[in-house]
Structure 1
Amino acid sequence: MLDINGGELVVLVVLAVMLIGPERLPRYAAQLGALVRRGKALLMDAKSRVDTELGPELKDVDWSKLDPRQYDPRRIVRDALLDDTPTTPRPADGMTSGMAAGGMAAAAAAPRPAAPDGPAPFDDEAT
């Protein structure tokens, strides 16, 4: 946000001391301290309100697992490959239970019934 390093901060403090002057500097420093204390109190109040509104379930969350610095794709892939929980395919919408159990390949490989003699059926609502 503010890309100020240590040397620039020292220059700003010296410039503020020169512009404000030694007689007004203690008053402004006290106002800055009061502003920081008031901001800290507001943040602590907001944190306590969030904690009370979200309840005790929030305290059980392990936030260190959600830290992006802990992200290691190799570990995630290793954990996923070593996971021994069996997965069962769920039938998608419009699939019959036989197609879901046998899979799409088995349904596609099954022989189709012979076409009846005569013209193919026509559906006016399909077009």
Structure 2
Amino acid sequence: MQQPILRVARPTNDIDRVADFYTAGLGFAVLARFEDHDGFDGIIVGRTGCQWHLEFTHQHGVSVEDAPTKEHLLVLYLPDRDEWSAAVAGLHAFGATPVTSENPWWDHHGITFEDPDGYRIVLQNAAWG
């Protein structure tokens, strides 16, 4: 039986810029890309073999606003310290700067960054659960 897969999808005005943040910065792989699918372009990124991925789309002729609040978070639990450190280093090397979390909980065991659209990603050095 196939396992369910979680896809988080959201619009962007600049697919290449946001995709670079997640691929070059975080080391995600490009899993798929499409152009002019009923007026939409898109890219799907993630980690090969994981049961989740992220999709970024752009609808032709439509402009979207940046993230509506600082509490729109994508949290990655990375309990292995070396893996967490590598993810943080990758974003630093990409040129991303950490930001203080709106909710201080995330700063206790993690580091928060903003992607090019203003959405925040928390790299949490802890196990979930």
Q: Is the shorter-chain TM-score for this pair beyond 0.5, marking a shared fold?
A: no
Larger radius of gyration, structure 1 or 2?
A: 1
- Tell me the TM-score normalised to structure 2 length: 0.19
| Structure with more relative contact order (C-alpha pairs < 8 Å, separation 6 or more) | 2
More strand by percentage: 2
More helix by percentage: 1
- Tell me the TM-score normalised to structure 1 length: 0.19
